[in-house]
Structure 1
C-alpha cells in the first residue's frame, strides 16, 4: 500500500535530488532537500483537507488529482505563478520576468517581496473562508467543544462566515497594511473571498445536480442497493478546481518563504514540487486507508490549522513570521487532533456512550 501510494513520490525525490546535485552541486542539493521538507511541514494540514474532498470523487478524478493536478501544482503554482506575480506587480512582460529571475535573482526576490501584501491578503481570505465555513457548521463530533458549540449556534445566522471574514480583512487592512498597500490589500482580500465563493458555490451546485440525478436513477431502477461510486462530471470537475485553488492558497507562504533559502526559481520549483508530490500521496493514502473516518477529530485539527495559517498570512502583510513557526503550528494542531481521536476511540470502544466520550475528550483538549 505504501509503495503503491508513495512510489512516484519516492522516484521523483530520487531523480530531483540527483538532478539538483548535477546542476548546482551540493549547495543546490541541500537547498532542494530543505525546501522539500519545508513544503511538507507547511502543507500537511492541506493533505487532510484535500482528503475530505477527494474521497467524494470517483477513481477517475482521484487519478486526475494525482496526474494533471500535480503538473498544475508544480509547474503552475511553484514556477509560473511567482513569475506572473512579479510580471504583474513590476509591470513587466512574462519573458522579461523570466529573464529577471534567471539573470538577477536578488531583484526578482525583491519584486516578490513587494507583491507579498497582495499575495498574503488573497490567500489569507481564501483560507479564512474555508475555516469559518467549517466551524460555523453544526457537526456530529466536536473537538474543541466549548468553542464549537458557540460557533455552531452563531452559524445559524445567514452570511456569518462572510461577515466575520470581512471584519478580519478590514482589521488587517487598517492594522497591518501601510498607506501605500492598504488599497491593494483590501482589493486582493475581496478577490480571495469572491474566488472562494465562486469555486465553492459552483462545486456545491453541480454536486447537488449529480445527487439528484443519482436519486432519480435509483427510483427508476427501484433498487435500494445501488453503489455510490463518487462524484463525476461537472461536479467532480469543480471539486477538482476547488482543490487546485486550495493548493494555491497553501503554497503562497511556501513560495514566498522559499526565498529565505535560495533565490534560484528553478531550485525553488524543484524543491517545492517534490514536497507537493508527497502532499498528494499523503492525501490519497488518507482516502484509501479511511483515516479520516477512523480518527474523527483529524478534520477538525486540519481546519483549525488552516484558520491559524490564514491569520498568520494576514499578519505577514507587515510582520515577518518564520516558516518554522507556521509549520509547527499546523503540525501541532494535526498531532493534537490525532491524539484526541485516539483517546476518543479507546474510550468509545471501552463502552462509554458516544456523547459522553466526546465531551470528555473535548474537555481535555
Structure 2
C-alpha cells in the first residue's frame, strides 16, 4: 500500500535529487533535499484538509485534482509564482524576471521579500476564513469542547466569521503593517497594500468557497430525488441530469482546493528564500515536497483516516488558524521555518493522539457492554478513491 501510494513521490524524489547532483553537485543535492523536508513539514495540514474535501468528489474529479492539480501545484506555485511576483512588482516581463533570477539572484530575492506583505495578507486572510468557518460551525464531534461549543453558538450570527476576519485585517493593517519588513532590514508603511491584499483574500474565499459550498449543499438536499431521476434517465437511455450538477459542484470544489493549496504554498515559497534564492533549486525541492503532499492526501482518503481518527481534521484546522496568524505576523517579524512548520505538526500530532485515546475509550466501553458501538460519530469504513491514480 505504501509503495503503491507513494511510488510516484519516491520516483520524483530520486529523479529530482539526481538532477540536482548532476547539474550542481553536492551543494545543489543538499539544498534540494532540505527544501523537500521543509515543504513536507509545512504542508502536512494541507494534506489533511485536502483529503477532507477530496473524499466528497467523484472518481473523475479526484483524478483531475491528483494529476492536473499537482502540475499546477508543482510548476505553477513553486516555479511560476516566484517569477510572477518579481514580474508584477518590478514591471518587467516573465522572461526578464527569469533572467534576473539567474543573473542577479540577490536582487531577485529582494523583490520577492518586498512583495511579502501583500502575499502574506492574501494567504493569511484566505486561510483565516477557512479556520473561522470551521470553528464557528455546529458539529457533532468536538475536540476542545469547552472552546468549540460556545464558538459554534456565536457562529449562528449571520456573517460572524467574516466580521471577525475583517476585524483581524483592520488590526493587522493598522498595527503590524505600519512597519512591514523590507530587504536590508528596513521597514515601510504597507497598510494600504495589506488592506487591499487581505480584502482580496477574503473575497476569493467567499466567491470560490461559497460557490463550492452552494453546489455541495444542493447535492445533499436533492440526493433522494436525484437517485430516482438517475434511475428513470437510465431506463430511458438518457444522460442523468444530476451528473451535470455533480460536475459543477466538483469543479468549484476543485477551484477551492487549488486556491487552498496556493495559500498553503505561500509560506513554503517565502521560507525557501531563507535557504536559497536559486529558482531551480527551489522548484525542485518544493516540487518534491508537493508530491508527498499529494501522496499523503491519497493515503488519507483511501484509508478513511479522517473517519477513523475523529479529531484529525480539527487539528488540521487549528494548524490552519495558527498558520494564518503567523503569516499576518510575518509581515513585520520574521518567523523561523521551524516555528511555522513545527506548530502545525504539533497540533495535528495532538489531535491524532486524542483520537487514538478516544477510540481506545470507545473500545473499552463496548467491551463493558455500555455502548452500542457508535463511537461518537466515527465511521470506520474506508473512503473510496480511484486505485489507478
Same fold (TM over 0.5): yes
> Displacement of 1:276 after TM fit?
0.3
Structure 2 residue 228 is the aligned partner of structure 1 residue 219: yes
SS in 1 for 2:167: helix
Q: Secondary structure at the match of 1:57?
A: coil
Separation in 1 of the partners of 2:89 and 2:322? 27
Which secondary structure does the structure 2 equivalent of 1:42 belong to? Answer: helix
Match of 1:362 in 2: none
- 3-state SS in 1 of match to 2:277: coil
Q: Is residue 272 from structure 1 mapped to residue 286 from structure 2 by the alignment?
A: yes
Q: Quick one: which of 334, 337, 340 aligns to 1:323?
A: 337
Equivalent pairs counted in the alignment come to 354
CA distance in 1, matches of 2:143, 2:75: 37
Question: What is the Cα deviation at residue 211 of structure 1?
Answer: 4.2
Q: Which residue of 2 aligns with 1:51?
A: 51
1:296 and 2:296 matched: no
Where in structure 1 are there 5+ consecutive unaligned residues? 223-227, 359-365
TM-score (norm 1): 0.93
Q: Which residue of 2 aligns with 1:361?
A: none
Deviation at 1:63, TM superposition (A): 1.3
Task: Give the match's secondary structure for 1:177.
Answer: helix
User: 1:215: Cα distance to partner?
Assistant: 3.1
The equivalent residue for 2:295 is 281
Q: Secondary structure in 2 aligned to 1:350?
A: helix
Does the Cα contact within 8 Å between 1:61 and 1:232 map onto a contact in 2?
A: no
Q: CA deviation at 1:216?
A: 2.5
Cα distance in 2 for partners of 1:311, 1:147 equals: 18
Q: Does residue 268 of structure 2 align to residue 254 of structure 1?
A: yes
Alignment-derived partner of residue 203 in structure 2: 194
Matched, 1:137 2:151: no
Q: Distance in 2 between matches of 1:157 and 1:213?
A: 26
CA distance in 2, matches of 1:332, 1:212: 37
Describe the superposition over 1:212-265 as per-residue Cα deviations: whole angstroms up to 9, x where unpaired.
56433323449xxxxx99x84111111111111101000101001101111101
Find the residue that maps to 2:115 and give its secondary structure.
helix
* Aligned match of 2:385: none
> What's the CA shift for 1:207?
2.4
Distance 1:301 1:215 in 2: 33
1:91-130 pair list within 5 angstroms = 91-130=91-130
- For the 8 Å contact 1:36–1:274, the answer to whether it is kept is yes
- Aligned residue in 2 for 1:26: 26
2:253 is matched with: 239
CA offsets 1:293-329 (integer angstroms, 9 cap, x no match): 0000000000000000000000000000000001110
1:313 aligns with 2:322: no
Q: Partners in 2 of 1:213 and 1:6 — Cα distance? A: 37
2:218 & 2:104 partners in 1: Cα distance? 51
1:90, distance to aligned residue in structure 2 (A): 1.7
- How many Å separate the matches in 2 of 1:276 and 1:35? 11
| Displacement after TM superposition at 1:188 (Å) | 0.2
8 Å Cα contact 1:45-1:306 kept in structure 2: yes
User: Gaps (5+ residues) in structure 2?
Assistant: 179-187, 233-241, 377-389
Q: 1:353 to 1:316 in 2, by over 3 A?
A: farther
Instruction: For 2:29 and 2:83, locate their aligned partners in 1 and report how far apart those are by CA, in whole Å.
Output: 23
2:277 to 263, 267, 278: 263
8 Å contact from structure 1 (residues 199, 238) kept in 2 = yes
Deviation of 1:175 after TM superposition, in Å, equals 1.3
Does residue 358 of structure 2 align to residue 344 of structure 1?
yes
- Note the aligned Cα RMSD (angstroms): 2.2
Q: Distance in 2 between matches of 1:324 and 1:145?
A: 29
State the alpha-carbon separation in 1 of the partners of residues 246 and 72 from structure 2: 20
TM-score, normalised via structure 2 length? 0.87
